[in-house]
Amino acid sequence: MGRLSGKVAIITGGAQGIGAAYAVGLAKEGAKIVIADVLDGQKAVEAVKKAGSDAIYVKTDVSNQEQCDAMAKAAQEKFGSVDILLNNAAIFGSIVLKPFTECTSQEFMKVLEINVLGQFNCMKAVFPHMKAKGGKIINIGSSSINEGVPGMPHYVASKGAIMALTRSMAREMGDYKINVNTIAPGFTHSDGGNNFDKNKKLDLPPLEELQLQARCLKREAVPEDLVGLALFLASDDSAFITGQMIVHDGGLSFH
């Protein structure tokens, strides 16, 4: 019996890349999975089923509160519970590294809308389904808030806001036995990140190359590297941990 047997987990941005790896990893430990994404999630659903669990796909724009509410309702109706929210959906791969003077207000606000408001919307959506029995919320941040990566001020600011939001929500949700924590990965090889440097407008080496040189553990990071920590935070093993950010970047930055 897996550590998450009988649990139901919503994975936002779960259709591909890191989100899909989270979905399969949690499924292998017994969780039923809801793939929530604007992209088609049927491939991820099939991967979860192949891993031995059950899953559904719910098309979800996390910046839309009504769609987030429908996502949580679908999980409740299909599986009878909402126990885990893994807030993974974000804008990253499409960001063009460029001088901050070329970053428009519209671009800045769009990243905040998806990366920050999206996580807030999802937390609001699952709260009615968790408040009577508790639950686990895992927000995905970034170690970029420790590094100060140039060329992407909107992204770095959004991930800093997620850590602040995590602390605030941990305070508010603690009385309901809901744990709220953040995982802060470094650059990870994934569907969303592999083309990241192609359209950059800054004279910098590839981001992955910069990070690889600076890491204590000098190898590429892959989505599967991140799964173990998510499992820990989703399980009873982390029952007394909340409001924390755990950096998960191979020793690139220390927090």
- Which residues form the catalytic set? 155
178-185 vs 135-140, strand pairing mode: parallel
Q: Under a CB-based contact definition with an 8 Å cutoff, are residues 114 and 89 in contact?
A: yes
Number of residues in the chain: 255
Distance CA 143, CA 122 (A): 22
Looking up tokens 């991820």 gives 44
Single-letter code of the amino acid located at 127: F
Q: Which residues contact 26 (CB under 8 A, 6 or more apart)?
A: 4, 9, 11, 33, 84, 86, 227, 230, 231, 234
The SS3 assignment for 183 reads: strand
Stated as kind and residue range, the H or E segment containing 76 is helix 65-79
What is the sign, positive or negative, of the torsion defined by CA atoms of 109, 115, 119, 125?
positive
Q: What are phi and psi of 33, to 5 degrees?
A: -120, 135
